[in-house]
Structure formats: structure tokens, C-alpha cells
Amino acid sequence: MTFDAASYALQLQEKVTRLRDLLAPFDAPEPQVFDSPLQNFRLRAEFRLWREDGQRHYAMFSQDDKRTPILIEEFPIASLRINQLMPQLKAAWQDSAALSHKLFQVEFLTTLAGDAMITLCYHRPLDEHWHTAANKLAADLNVSIIGRSKGKRDVIGHDYVVEKLAVGGRTFSYRQPEGAFTQPNGTVNQKMLNWAYDALGDRSDDLLELYCGNGNFTLPLATRVRKVLATEISKTSVNAALSNLDENAVDNVTLVRLSAEELTEALNEVRPFRRLHGIDLKSYEFGSVFVDPPRAGMDPDTCELTRRFENILYISCNPETLAANIAQLHDTHRITRCAMFDQFPWTHHMESGVLLTRR
């Protein structure tokens, strides 16, 4: 792969054109464009291990050929910290039977702040010899180590990394657990957060947030409103979000473990939920809703729910489903701000954002 600026500029423009064309039927303004570093932008990476010439090597597979490995010594799109750790870890397992025996997969998770965690996956139980070697490895590399074996997990250090992101003149601290979703491109994630923070603006009413994850957007957006009701279905993400709210002393957020569809039913008074016990939904004065749904976008009922709000702030990882949702809302809301975030350089994927305001 060639990481030259001219090739990148061409790919970036193709994405902008694609987003512009998808949103043209809705009279969208010209998108703001937020680019990415050309290399070392990806904060996490996962490799299978492949034996060749008596040694294990990092390997990946192309989507159209799952049998022929691509052996890897370095990974230029990954963070500098991952590229630093890769040869150090390889040397360690080559020197240690306790670390290498039936090791089949390695996962790296790093942060812009410099924290790092390595997950080692095995086809065998982990014994005391492994623990001794893994403890030394964690100390030598200054990382947390997680060993995974047939549904069991051994943690040396922490089972999370800590990220620090600057938004709106304040630095927020984020606990990012092993196995939970995090934005892979930290530099662009910080740009997304600042765009959303600016787009929402200072408000005196309340915010509803759907699909809040580990609180990535929740923390900065909570500082712009009176209070927030946030929902997330993943238990791991909910626990991380609660820790992040506490760590950052953000005390105006109520977080409930409900899906967007379930919250829609609760707000429509279709049925009660025990997880909402003690929460007075009628006490909220919602002026805005923030959504960051999965690739499938919002289901029709959730999309109808968002129509009730003056402002809909929408971050999307799939511009096609974004356009489909906007088509459902276009008769009541218009796009007043638009952005393209190059979260995934050198691929066709992108993140985009729109602010929809009631007509």
C-alpha cells in the first residue's frame, strides 16, 4: 500500500462526493471534512498467528481468501505503540514456551494517551508457568496482559486502557474495557466529539442519548445541557460508561440498560420496565436527541421517536442507512449541519454526522 498524500486526497474526495450525493435530495449544506493521519491512526489491531519455518508469525487474511495468510512484520496503519510492541512481543513468545504453546491469536488495544493492553488467546488452559512468564512480560513492556483460554480470562494489570480526549477546552478520561467497542481512530474520534459538542451548543433543556456505548459522546455533551437520559444495551459498555461518568465527575446523566427500541416503548407508555424504576420520564424537558446507531441505522419506530425532538444530532458509520433515516424524517426536519469524518482511511468506510432541526 502506498501512503502518499495525493492518493489519500483522492480517496477522501471520493468519500465526500459519495456523502454529498446521498444527502443531495435533502438539500444538505456542504459537509465539513475532517481528515485522518495517513499512517499510525488505528489504536487497535487483531492478528492470527501462523506457523512457518518453525516459528509463529503475525498473520491476516484477505476477505476473499481465508486460507492464504498474509504474514506481517509491521502494520503501518496501526499506532506507533502497536508497531513498537509487535516485535517485542514476538521476541518474547519465541523465547518462552510458556507464552507460545498453543497461542493462536493476539489483540492490541492502545490509546492516544499511551496506555496499552495485549490479549493473548490460547487453545489450552493457562498454568502457573504462563502466569510467571506473562507477569514478567507485562512488566518488561509496561502493558496490561490478558490471557484468554476456552471461556476463561486471566488479567495481569487492568482489563481496560485509559484514553484522554480534549473536547471543548476540557480533557475527559475514558476507561475502555477489553472486548468492548471503541472508536479505532482516536485522532478522528476527538474531531467527531468536538464537532458534536459544537453542533449541540449550550442549551437549558435536556438531552436523550441512544446507543451511548462507554459514554464516548455522553461526557462532553452532558456539559452542554441541564441533564441527560442515556441508554445502552451492552452490560460491559454500561459499566464502563458509569465508571467514566464517575471518573470525570459528570453528575447530570442517568444511564439505563435498555435498547433504543425498549426506550421507545417506555416513552410511548406501551409497557413499563423494571430498569426504569425510580426514573420519572415526565420530569425531562427533552429538546434534543443524540443517536449513534449501528450500521443498520435506526429502526422505523426509533426513527419516529426522534421526530418528537427539536434537534436530532446523528452520527453514522453507514451513510446509506443515514440517508434512509433522513428520508423518513425529512418532512419534519431539515439538515442544518453536515460533516464527514475519515475514521477509516484507505477503505470505503466513513463516519458522518448531521444536525437535523425541526422545520
Distances (CA, A) of 224 to 40, 205, 233: 32, 9, 24
3-state secondary structure of 143: coil
* Three-state DSSP string of 269-301: CCCCCHHHCCCCHHHCCEEEEEECCCCCCCCHH
Let me know if 128 is exposed, middle or buried by CB neighbors in 10 A (0-12, 13-18, 19+).
Answer: exposed
Q: What is the DSSP letter of 29?
A: P
The whole-angstrom separation of Cα 305 and Cα 210 is 11
The whole-angstrom separation of Cα 237 and Cα 212 is 8
Q: What is the DSSP letter of 77?
A: T
317 tagged catalytic: yes
**54: enclosing H helix or E strand:** none
46 tagged catalytic: no
The whole-angstrom separation of Cα 243 and Cα 163 is 13
Alpha helices (H) in 102-161, listed in sequence order: 128-141
Widest Cα–Cα separation across the chain: 67
- Residue type, position 205, single letter: D
Q: Is beta strand 144-149 parallel, antiparallel or unpaired with respect to 116-122?
A: parallel
Contact between 251 and 277 (Cβ < 8 Å):
no
The whole-angstrom separation of Cα 235 and Cα 85 is 30
Cell numbers of 71, please?
A: 504474514
Binding residues for S-adenosyl-L-methionine, as ranges, are 183, 211, 216, 232, 292
Q: What is the DSSP letter of 55?
A: E
The whole-angstrom separation of Cα 194 and Cα 242 is 21
CA atoms within 13 A on the CB side of 247: 18
Residues classed as catalytic: 317, 351
